Amino acid sequence: MEVIIMDTYEEISAAAARVIADLVHNKPDAVLGLATGSTPLGLYKELIRMHKKEGLNFSKVTTFNLDEYVGLTPDHPQSYHYFMNENLFKHINVQPQNTHVPSGTTDDFFSFCEWYEDKIEEFGGIDIQVLGIGGDGHIAFNEPGSSLASRTRVKTLAKQTIDDNARFFSRAEDVPVYAITMGVGTILEAEICLLVANGKGKADAVAAAIEGPVSAACTASALQLHPQAMYFIDEAAASKLKMRDYYKWIQEKKPDAPNC
């Protein structure tokens, strides 16, 4: 696990975007796992900038999103289909047929979830999975108590998640109670897991995920078991890490580290 702590949200967003850009440069047909929410917006803005200003080419890239609300059509302003189109896809040259967001309106969720898992496997698995973290430590919509071996499925959302997301809807009661989400086990199969977190409100969750026990009570803690998990966090989100100084020391010494 690599913990990168920087002063600002803008810095961590740019650094995380550079990891993705380097992958796309070296592997033009890379498979990216993408997340929604306010946290990855800075990362997506930086990818858009690199596409427009530096020629970063997404024409052969394939994407798979983590999740979607059950019951929302792709054109609903709060659907994750809509979010991805507005905040990334329509601003870069990714091919529409190569973008995948779970369906919130399928007639057969069980079969769709199996198909989604098979589709990821068909493309050779995810190279980099972008993640955010909920205030209770969840990743994707894998709420506290989710199996750390779980696969793509329909999940009942926790009250805290619904309350946290209510700000995006006209009324709190409009927030869907169910979502279709990649499982923790699905996420852990990505070659690299890249989690971005910012703000003091995420400090407890970040500390629990990085330094707490591996537990279904904090599904992000499962990243401790991943061989290439990267955390990009600002100073506020890092404020409750007991080993914060050591993580910063590692980054300071990294340029001189021996090649292993």
Rounded CA-CA distance 250/211 in Å is 16
Tell me the pairing of strands 128-131 and 192-197: parallel
The residues pairing with 218 across neighbouring beta strands, listed in sequence order, are 215
User: Pick the catalytic residue: 117, 127, 143, 234?
Assistant: 143
Residues in the chain, pLDDT under 50: none
User: Pick the catalytic residue: 68, 127, 136, 189?
Assistant: 136
What pLDDT, on the 0 to 100 scale, is given for residue 172? 82
For 231-258, give the secondary structure using H, E and C: EEEECCCCCCCCCHHHHHHHHHHHHHCC
User: Pick the catalytic residue: 46, 67, 234, 235?
Assistant: 67
Quickly list DSSP for 138-180.
-BTTB-TT--TT--SEEEEPPHHHHHHHGGGSSSGGGS-SEEE
The residues pairing with 64 across neighbouring beta strands, listed in sequence order, are 33, 100
Task: With residue 100 as reference, give the H or E element that holds it.
Answer: strand 99-100
Clarify whether 76 is annotated catalytic.
no
What pLDDT, on the 0 to 100 scale, is given for residue 260? 56
Clarify whether 67 is annotated catalytic.
yes
User: Pick the catalytic residue: 127, 138, 234, 235?
Assistant: 138
Q: What amino acid occupies position 94?
A: V
Kindly list the structural domains of the chain, giving each domain's residue range(s) and its CATH number in brackets, ordered by start.
Answer: 2-250 (3.40.50.1360)
What pLDDT, on the 0 to 100 scale, is given for residue 254? 85
Clarify whether 46 is annotated catalytic.
no
Clarify whether 25 is annotated catalytic.
no
